[in-house]
Structure 1
Amino acid sequence: MASCPALFIGAPASGQGKTTVTAGLARLHRDQGRKVRVFKTGPDFLDPKILERASGAPVQTLDLWMVGEAQCRQLLAEAAQTADLILIEGVMGLFDGTPSSADLATTFGIPVVTVISAKSMAQTFGAIASGLAHYRPGLPTYGVLANHVGSPRHAQLLREGMPADIAWLGHLGTSDRMTLPARHLGLHQAHEIDRLDERIAATARALAETALAALPPAIAFEAPPSPALAQDRETLKGMQIAVARDAAFSFVYPENIRLLTSLGANVTYFSPLANDALPAAADALFLPGGYPELHAATLAANTRSASSIRAHAAAGKPVVAECGGMLYLLERLTDASGISTPMLGVLPGHATLQTRLAGLGMQEVATPRGTLRGHTFHYTSMATPMTPVCHARRAGSDTPGEPVFRVGATVATYLHGYWPSNPALTAALFHGTAF
């Protein structure tokens, strides 16, 4: 068992400033010489990159459904052994979803800092703070931070309207120096954010004037008992797995790569955007999600990468492609302006980018090797003659989810799998024997 100070950053809704505050807090304490570990609640590939820039350490996912309570407990216990502070950023509103951010905070006894945007309100701020704090008995609370505060007088009104039993942690003003910009289709990669480090540093300086500059009390984190490993567990020992990694293909859970290496694989990276050839020694290939639509012309022109990937697939070597990686394998990809660009043609089909979400939410795939959990988030629709080998199932219902396709040893789907939820199936995917 290890003890470490920890805070959970929640809010009444998205857009309140959770990521800004979490990043600022991480940088504030890091600059004071502390080792900060940050986690993100729920499926997210983008905010973790911002939080990684702020903390200087990889950001892992916590989710009671997708990751599971035991694995969440393990990740927190590992972090507590070396960290001076653990920060967890929530997802959406504090009580949104099943399970919710509040469920996660309550399960591990982590006190919640509620970030509330005070824009266009005064004393009503206190009513919202009170409602969130008392909506569910047993929720551990630390206090409330006001965001987007217009003036010292505005801050005074907010504080005067606060209930006596909820701690006022301070406030952040409205400033373009701190605010994170709007995102492409609701998304934005960290390296594309203008002056990101300056924004994080400005937030850290502002938070230094609040009660959050002090360390919270320590919490004990105990790892769950280690499960017994099956003797016949399929492994990846000795396999060379190539992973596409660049601005077009960047949606990867760190725990997925960690699992591959723990199963014995040697993971190497290459960049289709840089026209890298797939390493000749690669036994299997992973094409993760990302933004191929933003780089379609470059990908189409990079024939060295394209030829090596086509040759790999034609040789019957395993390919695992998720979302944007699957789009890259199709015959064509049309962006939101109607420009159609040829892709690899490894899989038959054509994808079109839309302005509205086409898929969103937690899903799982049931297989003879057990269930793989994950999530989907995409703006494209796909027309293909391929027949799915199976469909995912939406969390909490029997409604069919994303299709899973197999052509030769290539498995492709919109679903972003959280591979530690089923290591045996993951190994089978990269052996080409999963479906």
Structure 2
Amino acid sequence: MNPTTIRKQKVPRVMIAGIASGSGKTTMVCAILQEFKKRSLSLAACKCGPDYIDLMFHRAITGAKTANLDLYFTPPEVVREILYQNGVGTDITIIEGVMGYYDGMQLGKDTASSYDIAKQTETPVILAVSCKGMSLSLVAIVKGVLEFRKDSNIQGILLNGISKEMYERIKPIVEEETKILVVGFLPPLSNFRLESRHLGLVTPDEIEDLQDQLDYLSEIARESIDLDAILGIAKNAPELEIGEITNIDSCDRNEPNVKIRIGYAYDQAFCFYYQENLRMLENMGATLVPFSPLRDTELPDNLHGLLLGGGYPEVYAKQLADNISMRKSIKEAIGLGTPCIAECGGFMYLHERVQGKDEEWYEMLGVIKGDCYKTKKLVRFGYVTLTAKEQTRYLDKDEIIRGHEFHYWDSTNTGVHFTATKTSSDLSYPTIHAKDNLLAGYPHLYYHSNPRFVKRFMKMCSKRLEI
């Protein structure tokens, strides 16, 4: 995966990072994106780390491409290429940080942190600081963050949850003490709040008045944030150094006249997909066909592959169970040999029964023998390296792919064909069903961590054209 030809490309970009989770990063990014959209700027957005839902809000605002940037999943040159492909030709890419600025994938290390991504991509950073319960102490905290790494690349500060009067008093003090420009603030927002549930924020489709709330945010941002300063910081970002990365398009493309149709479940129950995964399939010649296990009565015609992504099947368990014709359609397709990748929520859907959020039990597809049940805490949370324990149609024995787990439900039959190894500990455990045409398990897979996995899936799908 070494670059063969280094080139530099102009990609205006800035990262909004926080001192901690809850600093207001997502709200600030949404406010800035919405106001830039009203200025008719062309926009792109990225998220540090493996989160899906923040990017769903970014897409709902901009209508533009989004991407995850993750240095655990892929090396720096691939992260830079993904950032370039997502943002090339736009006026600005806003990158939302993850957790605290220096918080990496392991305790005590900044590896794969927002800081690490900013460093590897030479992206200027604006630090979001929650001001709740502080005045002068916030200066001390900001100075500590600035000085913790000499190459922090923090070029601006945004203050969150502070009144206009207090902002006008504290802004010159912060700038004098830190020598960093304070580019604005958000006051306490009485009419805007992003609701959460057990897997994080509710999705944009579930917020009926989302556009009204975004317009409200935009009005606030217009008055309280120096958007021209943020745009200037982004436009002064160094050219992005990228190369011809072999794992971006390493898989053979299909001939243009060969149309592999891959159906992917997409509705309120199934909506967690890495956009880079979907784009990789499209780049390799696939036509992606969305369908709804909640509303559609059967699968679309002429599908050669299936994706059942993550989401909230436990919230919509009754509706999924009641859609008997769709359950039958998917089960028949898998039984007839249609290649299928099912992750987390999609994996749960394949079981015999799922315990709903209401703690009632609902019948599902029965492709996988066993039940999925509610637990009281996060199960096997975090990054995993997945190693095939035996030869499968997706991975060779001892071959790896990387992914992430985040779920409160567990299974009586999690699978045994792969071994999952945690990055944050020595813990390892069996997981994944990888038999014949089916690959299903709790981990969300990141295709760029092993493009050969995708090539094999596409090859299986292409064979369905012959049937």
TM over 0.5, shorter chain: yes
Residue 212 of structure 1 is matched in structure 2 by 227
- The TM-score normalised by the length of structure 1 is 0.92
- For 1:191, what is the secondary structure of its paired residue? helix
- Alpha-carbon contact 1:111-1:140 (below 8 Å) kept: yes
Residue 71 of structure 2 is matched in structure 1 by 64
What is the aligned counterpart of 1:302 among 313, 323, 327? 323
Alignment of 1:11-410 (within 5 A): 11-97=18-104, 98-150=111-163, 152-153=165-166, 156-157=169-170, 159-160=172-173, 163-208=177-222, 209-214=224-229, 215=231, 216=233, 217-219=235-237, 220-227=239-246, 238-367=259-388, 369=396, 370-384=399-413, 387-395=415-423, 398-400=426-428, 403-410=431-438
Q: Is 45-54 or 211-220 further displaced after alignment?
A: 211-220
- In structure 2, what residue type is equivalent to 1:218? N
Instruction: Identify unmatched segments of 5+ residues in structure 1.
Output: none
- In structure 2, what residue type is equivalent to 1:199? Q
CA distances 1:252-282 after superposition (whole Å, capped 9, x unpaired) = 1111111112222232121110133113422
CA distance in 2, matches of 1:239, 1:398: 40
Q: Is 270-279 or 119-128 further displaced after alignment?
A: 270-279
CA distance in 2, matches of 1:129, 1:200: 28
- In structure 1, what residue type is equivalent to 2:66? V
Quote the offset at 1:429 in angstroms.
3.6
Q: Is 233-242 or 319-328 further displaced after alignment?
A: 233-242
CA distances 1:65-113 after superposition (whole Å, capped 9, x unpaired) = 2143122211233345311111100011101113110011111221111
CA RMSD of aligned residues (A): 2.5
CA distance in 1, matches of 2:169, 2:408: 43
What is the aligned counterpart of 1:423 among 435, 448, 451? 451
Counterparts in 2 of 1:231 and 1:74: CA distance versus 1, 3 Å: closer
CA distances 1:367-390 after superposition (whole Å, capped 9, x unpaired) = 455432221111111112x75111
CA distances 1:266-318 after superposition (whole Å, capped 9, x unpaired) = 32121110133113422221111110011111111111211111111221322
CA distance in 2, matches of 1:418, 1:83: 25
- For 2:288, what is the secondary structure of its paired residue? strand
- Alpha-carbon contact 1:122-1:154 (below 8 Å) kept: no
- In structure 1, what residue type is equivalent to 2:283? S
Quote the offset at 1:396 in angstroms.
5.8
- Alpha-carbon contact 1:123-1:158 (below 8 Å) kept: no
- Alpha-carbon contact 2:67-2:86 (below 8 Å) kept: no
Number of aligned residue pairs: 432
Quote the offset at 1:180 in angstroms.
2.0
Percent identity among equivalent residues? 30
- Alpha-carbon contact 1:354-1:380 (below 8 Å) kept: yes
- The TM-score normalised by the length of structure 2 is 0.86
Residue 392 of structure 2 is matched in structure 1 by none
- For 1:356, what is the secondary structure of its paired residue? strand
Q: Is 117-126 or 210-219 further displaced after alignment?
A: 210-219
Instruction: Identify unmatched segments of 5+ residues in structure 2.
Output: 1-7, 105-110, 389-394, 462-467
- Alpha-carbon contact 2:382-2:406 (below 8 Å) kept: yes
Counterparts in 2 of 1:218 and 1:284: CA distance versus 1, 3 Å: same
Q: Is 414-423 or 398-407 further displaced after alignment?
A: 398-407
- Alpha-carbon contact 2:316-2:356 (below 8 Å) kept: no
- Alpha-carbon contact 2:143-2:178 (below 8 Å) kept: no
Quote the offset at 1:432 in angstroms.
5.5
CA distance in 2, matches of 1:356, 1:406: 27
- In structure 1, what residue type is equivalent to 2:200? G
